Amino acid sequence: MDASFRLCLIVTRSMCALDPLRTIEEAVQGGVDMIQVREKDCGNADLLSWSLHVVALGEKLKVPVIINDSVEVAIAAKAGGVHLGKDDMSIADARQLLGKNKLIGLSTHDLEQLDDAALAGADYVGFGPIFPTATKGYAKGIGVEQLTGAVVLSSLPMLAIGGITVENAWMLPGKAGIAVSSAICCSEEPAKIAHSLRSSALY
């Protein structure tokens, strides 16, 4: 499965100004080409129930749905893959459970971690936070300059993440896709914001 995505929407239901499924559908209409389900404060049963709805909508809209953190839920929901952090299951174990045709993404924060991700067998990386972001509690971002270096050095497709908005997306290097949460979820016009993000970035 191709992992070169341009605009990923990270969905947390509590952040959505509109109905979450409506937010997803309108965001895809505006240019989102990947959905990540991110629910940090719910149990596996609730996460699975919600993920099944999102996966069904993703199939209808023809966009892959990735589950954050939980390999088990990704398998049960028949999602397109999983996105892992440093404290989650290893990529090797996740690959053994998911198989070779599912996507595995890994959160990275510096250039050394990019090399580790490639060696471990990740399909793509998230890199950031580029800018300060309240969503993940970062008061300071690592900056566009480090992202630019990461794009040059990385052998894997990359999604820049962290504090990205319509106002600053133009600063990002064109070879990196972008992942956003609050910029789209908190808006009552998800399609418009998604379209603006795609248009503002140097694609």
Catalytic residues, which ones?
38, 107, 136
With both helix axes pointing from N to C terminus, report the angle between 111-120 and 91-98 in degrees, rounded to the nearest 10: 40
Bond before 129 cis per omega within 30 degrees: yes
User: What are the phi and psi torsion angles at 28 (to 5°)?
Assistant: -65, -40
Say how many CA atoms lie within 13 Å of 45 toward its Cβ. Answer: 0
Helix (H/G/I), strand (E/B), else coil: 91: helix
CA angle 47, 51, 57 (to 5 degrees): 160
What does each C-alpha distance from 63 to 31, 47, 60, 184, 203 come to in angstroms?
10, 19, 8, 17, 19
Tell how many helices (H) and how many strands (E) occur in the chain.
Answer: 8, 8
Element (H, E) at 59: helix 44-61
Burial class (CB in 10 A: 0-12, 13-18, 19+), 21: middle
**What is the Cα 36 distance to its own chain's centre?**
5
